[in-house]
Structure 1
Amino acid sequence: MTVNVLVFPCGSEIGLEIHAALRHAKDVCLHGASSVSDHGEFVYARYRQITAQADSAELVSQLNALIDAWSIDLVVPAHDSVIPVLADNQQRLHAPAMVPEPAMAAICRNKNLTYGRLQGLGIVPRRVELGSADYPIFAKPAVGQGSQGAERVDNDERHRLLADSGIEYVFSEYLPGTEYTVDCISSADGTLLHAAARLRGRVKSGISVRTEPVATDPELEAMALAIAAELRLKGAWFFQARRDRHGVPKLLEVAPRIAGSMALNRMRGINYPLLGIYAYLGKPFTVMPQHYPLVMDRALGNRWRAKLAYERVYLDLDDTLLVRGAPEPQVMALLYQWNTRGIPVVLVTRHATEPVRTLARHRICADLFERIVHLRDGSPKSAVIPPGESAIFIDDAYRERADVASTRGIPVFDVDAVEQLREVRA
């Protein structure tokens, strides 16, 4: 049975990780929606932009329209602010949402409420009242995400200014030590099945863009077990912790959702979005973590929407399909994409030896090509392309591209530009 999943807002870093984790899942059909034009439309093949924001009275009705149109089985939140809204409106939603009960969603959304609920566990940082501070201290909005609004406070004047700002803050002891995220997965009844700690090595806009696993840490494992027993969160969730001046880890926050950098531990065997779906649908599952050194580093990547219509591809062999003596991975992926879509590919080459033998040596099936044209007489490659044909031409040689562009008037590409031709949405 295929589960139709709606991710909202799908263009967030969380939504992009959910897509990466589920795009190959054979029992999941992904759908995405966002309130603004974002990267989700380049990633989700089934995508819709709505007008309602997370705090809009229209959000539930607009999500319900998508749920009905797409026969959605489960709504997955991809932003902290969406979780309490979905939790509070579970009865109105036409499909269940991957969120905790309203009271628990509210506790996790507000750090003061989180600290109050978990105070008895001995893992919460010491709170600091105005006028009693031994500076520096740490200040952070009680409701927020990432590191937005967080700062070190070094004096009473700044402390008082923040306290009187009209924004609810958490004022706590300053934690100068190492910071961690602990990715957790729990069963449908809230039993913790696994907790995997990772270092927050480099952080950008509150997102851990460089992270790596940490060795087994009994203190962090004990924190995970204590939080899980108290909150009984199910599916995927995480918490963040930082060591105090004595080296003791203290809690920063708990979030009942997917984290964008859960990809690190997903690579080591735990698909948090998929297992989270299983937990919320009441399906039994087990975890099989793997343990080996791994570092994840993130940077901006590109997705493309090329408005090109073509019915045939003409492709060069040397330094195009084969680069530095080996098949070029992106071009190979395109060959299979075109084959699946029924777009014929013609190999046009001036190869020094027999092209079929070279293809066989590199384990490239000659049947991927409609035909192979081996030019030996110095004639232009443009002569192979019929006038007026809806086609594209790919060749590393500028001279060949210039000839085809001027003679046939079709789009031409060097190897560095073929990535725009790949369809990677799911």
Structure 2
Amino acid sequence: MSRINVLVFPCGSEVGLEIARALGLSLHVRLHGASSRDDHGRQLFDRYAELPNIADVEFDERFAELLERWEIDLLFACHDSVMEYLAPRIAQWNVHLVNGDPLTARVARSKQASYELFADESWVPRHFACVDHVPAWPVLLKPDQGQGGQGVTLVRSRAEAELAIAGLSQPLICEYLPGLELTVDCFSDWRGRLLFVGPRSRERVVGGIAMRSRRVCADDAIQEIAARINERLPLRGPWFFQVKQDSAGVWKLLELSCRLSSSSVVHRVAGVNLPLMAVQDFMQRDQLVLEESRVTLVERRLASVAELDYAFESVYLDFDDTLVCDGSANPQAMRFIYRLLAMGKRLILLTRHDGYLSSALARARIAETLFDDIIHLRAGEPKSSVIQGRAIFVDNHFPERLEVARTLGIPVFDVDTLEMLFP
């Protein structure tokens, strides 16, 4: 079957990077990325383009050209403002925007609009028109169109509230909720059925993004909130909402969004790939959710990716303590090797290994056929003497790297850098 052309925009956001990881190996997808700023999205997407900001007068024309050139079928919007902008315009471009209903996008972008739509529900927090209406302190101040807890301030007096309000755009004054906070990832299909409700904790948050999350069972109250949101808003694809407990332990709505959440990887590793479900849903396939409940906790951290400003054709790798450590294959080196093979590079193994190299490779379960050439050096023979052409050199031993770098002037790398090269 022909692959579906999927565009992720903005692809360098945490949401965009999660979609890339979730769909990168799918047989159904040809993945494309675009961003309005130069970031790491271009390192992860082989098919990548830069676009103006959505506020730029040239955006619509440039965006339409890109959709046509790449023959895009399916679009993931990875920021709430981008979703709100694209949703009422997407029909003119004949592309399916995941969860891109205009009403849903408008309501989800505004906490005030969300609270008004569900004003008759007991799980909507109390909110006040102005400080004069606040019955007791503390209360919470937050921007109407913020996300990820950004701009949220706890104020304990009228004076603190007035000071905080002066620094917020479209501030909301809400009751203070002191209890547990959860993000609830959901999925609604093309028939309007709510297929998945997956709460997760926010145990460590950096920049509004949950870096430590634990899967939590959805109780009846959370199931009811999800069901009511799904009934009142046209939803199709991944979406999420956040809840927090009040002083009595009752769940109250903080906000909702009609896009994928940045930490939905918690469910993907447990068997629920929400971006891939959106692709299947685009094809109008009925789906079942199969969860691997033994996976409960996900820790996230910053990753470093290096960019090499050097065109090369070959890679020369040392054997002992580089490709193999303590008799076993080095996982980072093996990942590096297979990535280079996918890039079409020549691999040459260099070694002064004392013993039968074939036996050592076999014990480490490394196939000799991985390499275009294997060069066994004599004692004292410099490695620079056998390296040819535009190449890079990997060796754990500093004197070897120094000799090659000074003699040939090519890039040299230690084993600890491999995880940062060619992700």
Structure 2 length normalisation: TM-score? 0.93
Match of 1:115 in 2: 115
> Are the counterparts in 2 of residues 264 and 296 from structure 1 also a CA contact under 8 Å?
yes
RMSD across aligned C-alpha pairs, in angstroms? Answer: 2.0
* Change over 3 Å in CA distance of 1:339–1:43 after alignment to 2: closer
1:286 aligns with one of 288, 291, 300 = 288
Give the superposition deviation at 1:197.
0.6
Structure-2 separation of matches of 1:370 and 1:288: 43
- Within a 5 Å distance, the mapping from 1:118-137 to structure 2 comes to 118-129=118-129, 130-133=131-134, 134-137=136-139
Structure 1 stretches of at least 4 aligned residues deviating more than 4 Å after TM superposition? 160-166
**Mean alpha-carbon deviation: is it higher for 92-101 or for 112-121?**
92-101
Match of 1:78 in 2: 78
1:14 maps to a residue whose letter is: V
* Structure 1 portions without partners, runs of 5+: none
1:223 aligns with one of 204, 222, 225 = 225
Structure-2 separation of matches of 1:256 and 1:16: 17
Structure-1 separation of matches of 2:244 and 2:286: 33
Structure-2 separation of matches of 1:167 and 1:404: 58
Structure-1 separation of matches of 2:50 and 2:42: 8
Match of 1:372 in 2: 374
Q: Are residues 1:20 and 2:45 paired?
A: no
- State how many pairs are aligned: 420
1:273 aligns with one of 272, 275, 278 = 275
> Are the counterparts in 1 of residues 304 and 420 from structure 2 also a CA contact under 8 Å?
no
2:34 maps to a residue whose letter is: A
Q: Are residues 1:315 and 2:333 paired?
A: no
* Change over 3 Å in CA distance of 1:282–1:57 after alignment to 2: farther
Structure-1 separation of matches of 2:184 and 2:164: 29
Give the superposition deviation at 1:261.
0.2
2:299 aligns with one of 297, 300, 310 = 297
* Structure 2 portions without partners, runs of 5+: none
- Within a 5 Å distance, the mapping from 1:230-249 to structure 2 comes to 230-249=232-251
> Are the counterparts in 2 of residues 191 and 232 from structure 1 also a CA contact under 8 Å?
no
> Are the counterparts in 1 of residues 99 and 238 from structure 2 also a CA contact under 8 Å?
no
1:199 maps to a residue whose letter is: S
1:307 maps to a residue whose letter is: D
CA offsets 1:307-359 (integer angstroms, 9 cap, x no match): 22222222111000012332111211232233344433222212121010010
2:330 aligns with one of 315, 328, 331 = 328
> Are the counterparts in 1 of residues 104 and 258 from structure 2 also a CA contact under 8 Å?
no
* Change over 3 Å in CA distance of 1:377–1:154 after alignment to 2: closer
Match of 2:44 in 1: 43
Residue 197 of structure 1: SS of its match in structure 2? strand
- Within a 5 Å distance, the mapping from 1:160-199 to structure 2 comes to 160=162, 167-199=169-201
Match of 2:383 in 1: 381
Give the superposition deviation at 1:228.
1.7
**Mean alpha-carbon deviation: is it higher for 93-102 or for 103-112?**
93-102
Structure-1 separation of matches of 2:282 and 2:340: 38
> Are the counterparts in 2 of residues 190 and 235 from structure 1 also a CA contact under 8 Å?
no
1:193 maps to a residue whose letter is: L
1:300 maps to a residue whose letter is: L
Residue 400 of structure 2: SS of its match in structure 1? helix
Residue 186 of structure 2: SS of its match in structure 1? strand
Structure-1 separation of matches of 2:107 and 2:399: 65
CA offsets 1:54-95 (integer angstroms, 9 cap, x no match): 233432222111001111112210100011111111233242
Give the superposition deviation at 1:125.
0.8
Match of 1:100 in 2: 100
1:46 maps to a residue whose letter is: R
Structure-1 separation of matches of 2:209 and 2:65: 32
Structure 1 length normalisation: TM-score? 0.93
> Are the counterparts in 1 of residues 327 and 360 from structure 2 also a CA contact under 8 Å?
no
Give the superposition deviation at 1:373.
2.3
Match of 1:6 in 2: 7
Structure-2 separation of matches of 1:226 and 1:122: 12
> Are the counterparts in 2 of residues 121 and 226 from structure 1 also a CA contact under 8 Å?
no
1:393 maps to a residue whose letter is: F
Structure-2 separation of matches of 1:277 and 1:120: 34
CA offsets 1:88-135 (integer angstroms, 9 cap, x no match): 112332423223322221111111110111122321011234323211
Structure-1 separation of matches of 2:10 and 2:384: 47
Match of 2:209 in 1: 207
Structure-2 separation of matches of 1:30 and 1:293: 27
* Change over 3 Å in CA distance of 1:345–1:146 after alignment to 2: same
Residue 264 of structure 2: SS of its match in structure 1? helix
Structure-2 separation of matches of 1:251 and 1:113: 13
Structure-2 separation of matches of 1:192 and 1:273: 15
Structure-2 separation of matches of 1:112 and 1:206: 20
Give the superposition deviation at 1:270.
0.9
Structure-2 separation of matches of 1:275 and 1:82: 21
Match of 2:410 in 1: 410
> Are the counterparts in 1 of residues 327 and 363 from structure 2 also a CA contact under 8 Å?
no
Give the superposition deviation at 1:160.
4.2
Match of 1:358 in 2: 360
